[in-house]
Amino acid sequence: MTSPSSESDRVAVRRDAITFRAATDDDYDFERLLYHDVRREEMELFPFGDEQKLQFLDWQFAAQHKHYREHYPTCDWNIIEKDGAPIGRLIIDRWKDQIRIVDIALRSETRNSGIGSMLLREILEQGREAGLPVTIHVEAHNPAMHLYDRLGFQHVDTSGVYHLMRWSPDQVKTAS
């Protein structure tokens, strides 16, 4: 299912270049390094040495990984590949009353290329077809917050540093 790119996407994304495969235990190190990459800018604000930052990020990733495995046991845990090379992950759970994006992350060199927008539009289309809302928890200062706003997600709750965002298939605003 392919959606047209919006004018704010920087490059045209070839949908056939983007594939998914189920994550395996062998992907743990890729996912760990992806987590490091996603948190790189944030970690620049901390007065830790490089070794301390790595240890902290490894500890945080291990805790997140364990939390996702325990609290989302039925989710699809996917590695996103572009032309056969891993560039990100998508963890998604389909519940009776909603589609939950547990986590979506792309390597820094692939962000702002239209890939995330394209993948999110496809998930929203799945929600529209199923008549289900799509939800995600997003950190308040996540740079992708503007993308979720643009796609029509609404803030519905706050828990700590996370905003629960919800897109509804019956909204007037469409995912464009």
Q: CA 157 to CA 164: how far, in whole Å? A: 5
Report the SS3 class of residue 121.
helix
In this prediction, residue 154 carries a pLDDT of: 95
Q: Which pTM does this prediction carry?
A: 0.85
Looking at domain 16-167, which of 3.40.50.720, 3.40.630.30, 3.20.20.140, 3.30.70.100 is its CATH number? 3.40.630.30
In this prediction, residue 15 carries a pLDDT of: 73
pLDDT tens, 86-108?
A: 999 999 999 999 999 999 999 99
- Does an H or E element contain 56, and which? helix 50-71
pLDDT tens, 32-70?
A: 999 999 998 888 888 889 999 999 999 999 999 999 999
Q: CA 62 to CA 72: how far, in whole Å? A: 15
Q: CA 144 to CA 116: how far, in whole Å? A: 9
Domain boundaries, the chain: 16-167
Q: What tokens does 38 get? A: 């996603």
pLDDT tens, 125-170?
A: 999 999 999 999 999 888 889 999 999 999 999 988 889 999 999 8
Residue 8, pLDDT > 50, answer: no
Place of tokens 């395996």: 24
Q: Is residue 117 within 8 Å of 5, Cβ to Cβ?
A: yes
